[in-house]
Structure 1
Amino acid sequence: MLTDDVQIDRRILLEAESLICQGNEVILLAMSDGGDRAFETIGNVKVERVSGNELPYSEMVVLKVFNLYFKFIAFAFSFINAISQIIANRISSKIGRILFFLSRKTNSAFVLLGYKLRSTLILLHKRLRKLSTHERFILQRALFYRPDILHAHDLPQLKVAAYASNKFKIPLVYDAHELYPEIASLLPVQKRKLSSLEQKYIKRANAVITVNSYIADEMCQRYKIAKPTVLLNATNQPEYFDNAKKYDLFRNELNIEPHKKVILFQGWMSKQRGLQNLVRALAAMPNEIVLVFMGYGEAKSELLDIAIDLGCVERVYFKDAVPQSELLYWTASADIGVIPYQAIDLNNYLCSPNKLFEFIQAGLPILANDLPYLREVVFGEGFGVVSSLDSPEEYAEGLLTLLDESYYQKCKEQLSLKREKYSWREQEHTLFEVYDSLTHAT
C-alpha cells in the first residue's frame, strides 16, 4: 500500500488490518513525520516511513561513481602539478610553466566533461522514468518488497503505483478517498494537471475503489471507466464500547454541567467549513446548549473571537484531538454531532467524511449540511436533520428541531437499529471481493 499520509487515515489502517486477518502481509509506505523512525508497526500493519528527498539507489550509484571520478581527477591534477614543479626546478622555468598550464587545462576539461556526463545521465534517467525524485524513491522501495498486489491510496500515489504495477506485471488497486482534482485549495492549473494525470493512470488500475456512489458515478462519467466499487469510510466500535452507557468525558474534563446539551464538531477546524455561523447560532440559543470543538485547525482563533464578541465564550469549549482508539468514547460523550461542510467545491459537495460514520457508531444524532450523500444517510436513515447551513438561523433551527425530545429519541432508535450497516465489519466484505477478483484473474 502507498499513501502520502503522515497521520495515516483510519480507512487505510482498517483496510490493511482486514487484509492481514485474511492471511496477507501488508507493507504500507507512508510519508515521514520528520522523526528518526524509518520503520514502525501500527496495530498489525508494517509501516515504512519515507521522506520526499531520497534518491533511488541507481542514482546514488551514479553519484558515487562520479564522486570517485572527481576524486581521481583531483589526485591526477595534484600529481601532474607536483611533477611539473619538479621538472620546473630541473629545467627552465618556462617549460615548467607550460606544463603547469597544460595540466590545469587538462584537469578543467576532465572536470567539465564529468559534470556534463553526470547531468546528462541523471536527466536521461528522469526522462525515461518520467517520475519525480520522490516518486522514483517510492518506486524503488515498492519494488524492493516484490509485492503481489499494489494498492494506491489517493491520486498522489497513483502514477508511481502504475509504474510499479507495470514493472512487475501485478494487479493495481486505486483507492480514491475523494474527488482529488476538485479540491478547492488547488489552483486551476493544478486541477487541470491532476485531472489529466488521473485520466491517464486510472485506466491502468485493475480495480478502482471510492467512498460513495456519487463520487463513483462522477468518476465513471468523467473518465469513461466502469463504475468504481463503493467502499464506505465506515468504522467499528472499540472492543469494550458499551452502547447502553452514557459517556461523560467532555463534561468531566471541561467542567460542563450535567444538564447542558453538548453540540460537537470534531476534526479539522477549517475556515471554509461554516463553523463561524455555528458559533453565531449559539448566541441565539438557550443557555443550556454548549458547543465543543475537538481537533485542530486554523479557524480556532477566529471562532474564539466570534464567541467573545457575541458574549457566549463561556459556552464554547476546545479540546485537542485524541487518539483514534479513544475517539468514539469522546464522541459518545456529546449529545449532537454537527457536519457543516460547505459546498465550496465538487469534492466537498459529494463528500462522505469520517466523522459521519464515527457519529453513527457512537449513536449520536446528527445535524448535517444538505449535501447529496449526507442527505441520503442522515435524513434517509432517520439519523438526524439536514438543512442548508448557510446562516446562523439555519443552524439554530436545525439544532432546536433535533433537540426536540420526541424527534431526538427517534433518531437514537434508528441509530441503534442501523449502525451495524455502517460498520467496517459490513464493509470489509466488499474489499475481500475486490481482492478475490484480482487473485482469481491472475
Structure 2
Amino acid sequence: MGKKKLIFSVTNDLVFDQRMQRICTSLQHAGYDVMLVGFSTKSSPPLSAQVFKQKRFRLFFSKGKLFYLEYNLRLFIWLLFQWADLMGAIDLDTIIPVYYASRIRKKKRVYDAHELFCEMKEVVSRPIIFRIWKWVERKYVPRFPIGYTVNAPLAEIFKNDYGVVYEVIRNVPVLVENSFSLEKEPFLLYQGAVNEGRNFETLIPAMQWVEMPLWICGDGNFMEQVKELVAKYNVQDKVIFKGKYLPENLRTITAKASLGFTLFENNGLSNYLSLANRFFDYLHAATPQICVDFPVYHQLNNIAPVAVLVDSNDPVVLAVIINKTLTDTSFYRKLQENCLIMREKWCWQQEEITLTRFYQKIFSIGA
C-alpha cells in the first residue's frame, strides 16, 4: 500500500507559516505524502525548501471579500481534481471549499482550529462580517467531527458549542540546542503579526519612558496605525520597523533580544484564550517576556515563571514593569533559567507524538 496523501489548505503564502511547516514536516517524516496549499502575491519571497510539497495560487485580489471569494473558488476547483486520502482545513477561512471537495470526492477531512476565528478583533468588531463568519462556523464546524486545536479551553468551547471533541496539539517550536543565548543585546522585540488587538496602543506610548529601542519584526493589518502611534508619541528614535524575516533568521534575532512582548487586548475570546506562537518562541530563545495575564498564559507561567504577567493597559505601568525587569539582574536570570528548563518540555518533539497518533487513529479506524 502506498503512502496516504494529505492536503492542507491555508490562506497565507506559506513562507512564514512556521506552524504548518512543523506539522507538515512531522507528517511527511511519519510516512505520509503531504502537500500544503496557499497563495502568493507579487511581493512573496520564493518558497523555502521543505520535505513536503507546496503549492501557491497567484490571485488577482490580495485582501477583502474578493480575495476570499477568489481563493475559495479556486481552491475548491483545484481540490476536486486532486487525488488525496484526506483534506485538511486550516482555520475557518478554508473550511467551505475543503468541506465540499472532500464530500464530493468522498475523502476524509480534518479541521485544524488555530484560534477562535470569529472572536478575532478584526472580525468581532465588525457586526456584518462577524455574522457571516459565525454562520460559516455554526454550519460547517459540526461537519468536521475530527479535528484539533491549540489548547484545552478552545477544545472545550468547540465541544460545548458544536458537539465536536477535538484533540489538543500545542503550537510550540522544535527544540534546537543552539537556538538560545543567555547573553543579550540591548533591544526589545515584538515579533509576529502586527494586527489589531495586540495592544500596541499601550506598548508604543510606554516607550516614552524606556531607553532601550523596540524592534518590530513583522507586518499586518495594523501597521499604519502603529506608525501613527509612533509619530503621535514622538518615539521614532526608539521604535524600529524591521519588516518580516524568514523563520530561521527571526530565530537568531529572538535569541539576541533582551525582552519580548506577548500582549493582547481583552476584546474577544480568541485573544482571551489565546496561546500565541511568540510566547514559546521567546521561551526557546531564553528571552524573558512581558506577557498578558490571560488564563492560558497564567496557567503555564504558574508551572515555572518564564514571563512577567501584566493586567494593565496603562503605558506608565507597562514602562515601569519593562524597566524593572531589565534592571533586576537576579530576577532576570531566574526567568532565563526557567526558560532553559521548560523549553525541554514545551517543544515540538513532544507535541508531534500526539499529532502522529492522531492521524494514525484516523486511518486505522477508517474514520
Give per-residue Cα distances to partners, 1:382-427, cap 9 Å, x unaligned: 1121111301122023224423122111111111111122211111
Q: Secondary structure at the match of 1:314?
A: coil
Q: Do 2:171 and 2:277's aligned partners in 1 also have CA atoms closer than 8 Å?
A: yes
Give the Cα separation in 2 of the matches to 1:24 and 1:342. Answer: 39
Q: Which has the higher contact order (CA 8 A, sep 6+)?
A: 2
Give the Cα separation in 2 of the matches to 1:276 and 1:191. Answer: 23
- Counting only pairs closer than 5 Å after superposition, residues 16-415 of structure 1 correspond to structure 2 as 16-34=24-42, 42-51=49-58, 134-186=71-123, 187-226=126-165, 228-237=166-175, 241-243=178-180, 246=183, 248=185, 261-270=186-195, 272-285=197-210, 287=211, 289-296=212-219, 297-308=223-234, 313-403=236-326, 404-415=328-339
Name the CA shift for 1:379/1:385 in 2 (closer, same or farther; >3 Å): farther
Q: Do 1:270 and 1:298's aligned partners in 2 also have CA atoms closer than 8 Å?
A: no
Residue 5 of structure 2 corresponds to none
1:213 deviation in Å? 1.4
Q: How many correspondences in the alignment?
A: 346
Name the CA shift for 1:194/1:330 in 2 (closer, same or farther; >3 Å): same
Give per-residue Cα distances to partners, 1:245-302, cap 9 Å, x unaligned: 6365xxxxxxxxxxxx4222122334642223323323334x4x33222223223422
Taking structure 2 as the reference length, the TM-score comes to: 0.85
Show structure 1 runs of 5+ residues with no match: 55-130, 249-260
Name the CA shift for 1:26/1:365 in 2 (closer, same or farther; >3 Å): same
Give the Cα separation in 2 of the matches to 1:3 and 1:316. Answer: 31
Give per-residue Cα distances to partners, 1:128-155, cap 9 Å, x unaligned: xxx9665343233223221011111111
Name the CA shift for 1:32/1:329 in 2 (closer, same or farther; >3 Å): closer
Q: Do 1:171 and 1:205's aligned partners in 2 also have CA atoms closer than 8 Å?
A: no
Give the Cα separation in 1 of the matches to 2:117 and 2:39. Answer: 18
Show structure 2 runs of 5+ residues with no match: 1-7, 62-67
Give per-residue Cα distances to partners, 1:188-240, cap 9 Å, x unaligned: 232222222222222222421111112111222121222x211111112557x
Q: What RMSD over aligned residues (CA atoms) do the two structures have, in Å?
A: 2.7
Indicate the percent of aligned positions where both proteins have the same amino acid: 25
- Look up the equivalent residue of 1:185 and give its one-letter code: E
Residue 99 of structure 1 corresponds to none
Name the CA shift for 1:244/1:315 in 2 (closer, same or farther; >3 Å): closer
Give the Cα separation in 2 of the matches to 1:411 and 1:51. Answer: 45
Give the Cα separation in 2 of the matches to 1:347 and 1:336. Answer: 24
Give the Cα separation in 2 of the matches to 1:169 and 1:211. Answer: 27
Q: Do 1:17 and 1:45's aligned partners in 2 also have CA atoms closer than 8 Å?
A: yes
1:44 deviation in Å? 1.8
Residue 348 of structure 2 corresponds to 424
Q: Which has the higher helix share?
A: 1
